[in-house]
A and B are shown apart, each in its own frame.
Chain A
Amino acid sequence: MISESVSRRRVLFAVAAAPLAVACTTEPPAPPPPDPLSALAAQARADAALAQTLTAVPAAAEIAKARETHARLLQAEVDRERPPLSSTAPPAPTAPPTPPDPLAALRTALDDAVRDASAVVAKLPAYRAGLVGSVAAGCASLREVLA
């Protein structure tokens, strides 16, 4: 009887200690994957910067303003979900080299923006899907202005 109770205690101890040992030896959890909205916000900032270089195109100012609004709203949602550790603003986009055909580059950028935002919508929680859906539709609207 005694030996049986000791062995049961040992068994219970071993069972209780096993996860502890695992917890002490496993790697710390990987950092969470980057927020998909963060990439969309960066894309919006880059598009706004590109549009600002196209002073000759009348619609460029409108596009720059709209993409700045998209960037602000997307970044606000990213920061709301995962408050940044420091209060530093995201790095300003480095001035891109002016492409040989800026208007064509802007059209391509807006096509990419529609496609990327649309691809993200399917995987988002519902409360974020509306915002990103409106951003995708807004980029399609901007693309129509350039059509």
Chain B
Amino acid sequence: MSVDAVQTALGTEHAALWTYGMVSAFLGNQAAAVAEGANAHRARRDATERWLRDKSATPNPPAAAYLPPAPVSDGPSALAALVAVEQDTCAAWRGVLERTDDAALRTTALEALTTAAVRATRWRKAAGTTPASITLPGVASG
């Protein structure tokens, strides 16, 4: 049960990494923050794949490409794509929290949920979205 939830979370990590790579061309003025987010997702992806292999599961591979909710053609649409992918990541890791009693996996899932929520907030701030904060990260209406 928790393996399926972790595979879903791995899928959002793949999507996040792909999205950070895709938007970097439009966010040259925020290159450091983009690189930081990409590195965080890369580390999370690697750790998640290791966790799955330890459970004798085969980590799902990344898709060839991902479809952002709206086409990305400039800075604002790039920020919107980052916000969307971070919120998807929040939802997937909250799903893991709800499906495991394993303390170590809970800790990992909470950390992934929290850091994704902070990055989503940062991108919403950069985009001038109000409110910038997300009341309940990982909940569709949050």
Contact = CB atoms under 8 A, between A and B. Distances in A.
A140 interface: yes
A62 B133 contact: yes
A66 B132 CA distance: 11
Contacts, number: 100
A83 to B, nearest CB: 23
A129 B117 contact: no
A101 interface: no
Contacts of A66: 131, 133, 135
Interface stretch (A21-29, A90-98, A131-139): A131-139
How extensive is the interface on chain B, given as a class? 20 to 34
A121 B98 contact: no
A104 interface: no
Interface in B31-52: none
Contacts of A138: 117, 133-137, 142
B120 A141 contact: yes
Q: In terms of DSSP, what is the predominant structure of the interface of chain B?
A: helix
Given A62-B133, A133-B94, A144-B125, A126 B100 contact: yes
B61 to A, nearest CB: 27
Given A114-B114, A122-B107, A145-B132, A127 B98 contact: yes
Which of B95, B100, B114 has the largest number of chain A CB atoms within 10 A? B114
A73 to B, nearest CB: 8
Given A138-B117, A144-B122, A144-B125, A129 B97 contact: yes
B11 interface: no
Interface of A: 59, 62-63, 65-66, 69-70, 73, 114, 118, 121-122, 125-127, 129-130, 133-138, 140-145
Interface of B: 90, 94-95, 97-101, 103, 106-107, 109-110, 113-114, 116-118, 120-122, 125, 130-139, 142
23 contacts: A59-B131, A62-B131, A62-B132, A73-B136, A118-B110, A121-B97, A121-B106, A126-B97, A126-B99, A129-B97, A134-B113, A134-B142, A136-B110, A137-B113, A137-B118, A137-B136, A137-B138, A138-B137, A141-B117, A141-B135, A144-B132, A144-B133, A145-B133
